[in-house]
């Protein structure tokens, strides 16, 4: 017996070094043949016409990647790891009469922050000069951008909060619902559907996904009486599975939705990109509508009743299951919308874009108070503003999420129930 065991161990140990060589990466990860990190941009002249056939190289140590801008001016260099790269535009390949604008560094050094995609903007022509904004101006711009970001976060977190309130589930797969919205728009758009239809279908898809999740997974689990902690862990597995199913089909690259690039416009003292402005307006309207529905309609009252006390709601003749189903559908639509807006805000669509803001969504929800819908709204806007403003006050851009997560932990120290939450009774 002992001899057999010893022999087995010996065999296993013999095999070991080979296996170590076979799996050098610490976590299972796809091979490097198609890089997951991208440096990209659009080349457009001062009349916003695309510039084609320009050669751009990115260098870091002994890695060099090259790309040539396509017919629409887009270029993309896949790189093996996130880090600092020297990006150079080969000026000899520029069409005649087009020159880099004054003050445009070339080559320049760029660095990845949290995203797997960095965009580099080369400005052309005489008219464009990169301006140094003064502090107050910058503050105001970031504030508006922060509100816009916060409201798009709020779209996702209101859904998360509604789901938490009605079912008690802390859904870690909510980030994937966000991703799905943006990915669907990209897919439908790639199928040459009109832009408005693509968006409509994506929202529909998000709602369907919410419905399917509830009907196929969460409702059966509730029926089985599965506890909240196991459900939370199930949602983590689901998040992991969906994220990589999306990657499986969508790939690791960053894609752009139509009209993703837009020059900033000036409204009064604030300069904002039209996309951000749209995002702000759309999310404000949608959240306003949700608020009205929750406060004024029978349906909204039913939802709040279920969130408050499901058993009592059921006893009062409310069909709890259908309310929860509806909450999942609405949560799915809101998350999709949030995802589409997030794709414009970053800009770019990636398979992990949702999981990147999942923690910010959680931060918003926790700040506002778990399970309170209006708390989630306020919390998210605070997180959004905080994320944008920290860069104004000197925090490095690649640390801007840290500030928001940090403030969440600090708030928990002093007001654990969140801004609008209630304390619980023991016993």
Residues 299-318 that bind other proteins (CB under 8 A): 309-312, 315
Min dist CB 54 to other proteins, Å, is 27
Which strand (E) or helix (H) includes residue 60? strand 55-60
CB atoms within 10 A of CB 365: 31
Where do we find the tokens 């977190």?
Answer: 157
Contacts of 80 (CB under 8 A, 6+ apart): 32, 35, 37, 63
Nearest to 83 by CA among 110, 57, 56: 110
Cβ closer to other proteins: 134 or 424?
424
Closer to other proteins by Cβ: residue 45 or 352: 352
List the one residue out of 145, 175, 149, 181 whose CA is nearest residue 160: 175
Q: d(Cα 308, Cα 241) in Å, to the nearest integer?
A: 32
In the complex, least distance from residue 289 CB atom to other proteins, rounded to whole angstroms: 28
Among 3, 33, 97, 131, which residue sits at the site for other proteins (rule: CB under 8 A)? Answer: 33
Question: In whole angstroms, how close is the CB of 20 to other proteins at the nearest point?
Answer: 6
380 binds other proteins (CB under 8 A): no
For residues 203 and 361, which CB has a smaller minimum distance to other proteins in the complex? Answer: 361
Minimum gap (Å) between residue 212 Cβ and other proteins: 15
Q: Is residue 398 a contact point for other proteins (CB under 8 A)?
A: yes
Q: Is 82 in the site for other proteins (CB under 8 A)?
A: yes
Q: Is 387 in the site for other proteins (CB under 8 A)?
A: no
The verdict on 170 binding other proteins (CB under 8 A) reads yes
Which 206-225 residues touch other proteins, going by CB under 8 A? 221
| Beta sheet of 37-42, edge-to-edge order | 74-79, 37-42, 117-119
Q: Does 79 bind other proteins (CB under 8 A)?
A: no
Stretch that binds other proteins, among 78-86, 96-104, 269-277, 330-338 (CB under 8 A): 78-86
Q: Which of residues 252-291 bind other proteins (CB under 8 A)?
A: 252
> Could you tell me whether strands 37-42 and 74-79 are parallel, antiparallel, or unpaired per DSSP bridges?
antiparallel
From the list 24-32, 145-153, 202-210, 330-338, the region that binds other proteins by CB under 8 A is: 24-32
**CB 154 to other proteins: min, Å:** 17
Residue 416 CB contacts under 8 Å (≥ 6 apart), including other chains = none
Site stretch for other proteins (CB under 8 A), options 29-37, 39-47, 202-210, 295-303:
29-37
Cα gap 117→269, rounded to integer Å: 30
Total of chain residues touching other proteins, rule CB under 8 A = 83
Single out the residue of 52, 226, 261, 262 in contact with other proteins (rule: CB under 8 A).
Answer: 226
What Å distances lie between residue 206 and 46, 152, 339, 345, CA to CA?
A: 39, 15, 10, 19
Distance of alpha carbon 156 from its chain centroid, rounded?
A: 10
| 47 versus 413: smaller Cβ distance to other proteins | 413
CB of 313 to other proteins, least distance (A): 10
Cα gap 56→66, rounded to integer Å:
6
In the complex, the smallest distance separating the C-beta of residue 98 from other proteins, rounded to whole angstroms, is 32
- Is there binding between residue 392 and other proteins (CB under 8 A)? no
Nearer to other proteins, 250 or 278 (CB): 250
Kindly state whether residue 362 participates in binding other proteins, applying the rule CB under 8 A.
Answer: yes
User: Is 20 among the residues that bind other proteins (CB under 8 A)?
Assistant: yes
What residue has token string 């196991």? 230
CB-based burial, 164-201: b 16+ in 10 Å, e otherwise: bbbbbbbbbbbbbbbbbbbbbbbbbbeeeeeeeebbeb
Picking from 159, 156, 411, the residue whose alpha carbon sits closest to that of residue 307 is 159
241 part of the interface to other proteins, by CB under 8 A? yes
Interface characters, 108-137, with other proteins (x: CB under 8 A): ---xx-x-----------------------
**Angstrom distance (rounded) from CA 228 to CA 260:** 40
Q: Which long-range contacts (CB under 8 A, 24 or more apart) does 267-272 make?
A: 269/137, 269/140, 270/140, 270/141, 270/144, 271/137, 271/141, 272/141, 272/144, 272/145, 272/148
Distance, in Å, from the CA atom of 342 to the CA atom of 260, rounded to the nearest integer, reads 11
Kindly state whether residue 15 participates in binding other proteins, applying the rule CB under 8 A: yes
Residues 6+ apart with CB under 8 A from 314: 320
Confirm or reject binding of residue 31 to other proteins (CB under 8 A): yes
Question: What is the number of alpha carbons within 13 Å of residue 409 lying toward its C-beta?
Answer: 6
Task: For residue 277, count other CB atoms closer than 10 A to its CB.
Answer: 17
Q: Which of 136, 194, 230, 288 binds other proteins (CB under 8 A)?
A: 230
Quick one: which of 7, 10, 130, 191 contacts other proteins (CB under 8 A)?
10
Told to check if 298 binds other proteins by CB under 8 A, we report no
Contact status: 420 vs other proteins (CB under 8 A): no
71 is a site residue for other proteins (CB under 8 A): no
């Amino acid at each position: 017996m002992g001899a057999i065991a010893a022999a087995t161990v010996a065999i296993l140990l013999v095999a070991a070094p080979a296996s170590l060589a076979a799996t050098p990466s610490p976590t299972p990860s796809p091979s490097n043949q198609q890089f997951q990190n991208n440096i990209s941009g659009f080349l457009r002249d001062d009349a916003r016409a695309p510039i084609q056939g320009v050669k751009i190289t990115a260098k870091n140590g002994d890695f060099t990647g090259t790309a040539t801008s396509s017919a629409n001016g887009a270029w993309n260099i896949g790189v093996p790891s996130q880090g600092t790269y020297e990006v150079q535009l080969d000026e000899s390949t520029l069409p005649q009469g087009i020159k880099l604008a004054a003050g445009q560094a070339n080559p320049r050094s760029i660095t990845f922050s949290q995203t797997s995609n960095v965009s580099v903007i080369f400005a052309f022509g005489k008219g464009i000069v990169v301006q140094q904004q003064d502090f107050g101006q910058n503050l105001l711009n970031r504030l508006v951008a922060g509100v816009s970001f916060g409201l798009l976060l709020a779209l996702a977190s209101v859904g998360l909060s509604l789901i938490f309130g009605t079912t008690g589930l802390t859904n870690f797969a909510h980030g994937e619902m966000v991703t799905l919205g943006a990915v669907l728009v990209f897919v439908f758009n790639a199928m040459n559907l009109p832009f408005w239809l693509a968006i409509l279908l994506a929202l529909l898809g998000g709602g369907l996904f919410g419905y399917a999740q509830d009907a196929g997974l969460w409702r059966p689990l509730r029926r089985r009486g599965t506890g909240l902690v196991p459900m939370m862990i199930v949602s983590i597995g689901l998040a992991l599975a969906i994220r990589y199913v999306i990657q499986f089909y969508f790939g690791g690259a960053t894609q752009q939705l139509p009209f993703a690039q837009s020059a900033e416009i000036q409204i009064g003292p604030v300069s904002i990109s039209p996309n951000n402005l749209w995002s702000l307006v759309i999310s404000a309207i949608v959240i306003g509508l949700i608020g009205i529905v929750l406060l004024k309609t029978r349906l909204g009252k039913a939802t709040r009743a279920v969130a408050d006390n499901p058993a009592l709601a059921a006893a009062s003749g409310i069909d709890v299951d259908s309310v929860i189903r509806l909450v999942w559908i609405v949560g799915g639509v809101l998350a999709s919308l949030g995802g589409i807006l997030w794709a414009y805000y970053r800009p770019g669509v990636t398979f992990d874009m949702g999981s990147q803001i999942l923690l910010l969504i959680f931060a918003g929800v926790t700040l506002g108070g778990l399970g309170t819908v209006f708390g989630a709204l306020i919390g998210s806007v605070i997180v959004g503003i905080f994320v944008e403003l920290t860069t104004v006050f000197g925090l490095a851009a690649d640390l801007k999420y840290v500030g928001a997560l940090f403030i969440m932990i600090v708030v928990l120290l002093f007001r654990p129930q969140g801004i609008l939450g209630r304390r619980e009774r023991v016993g």
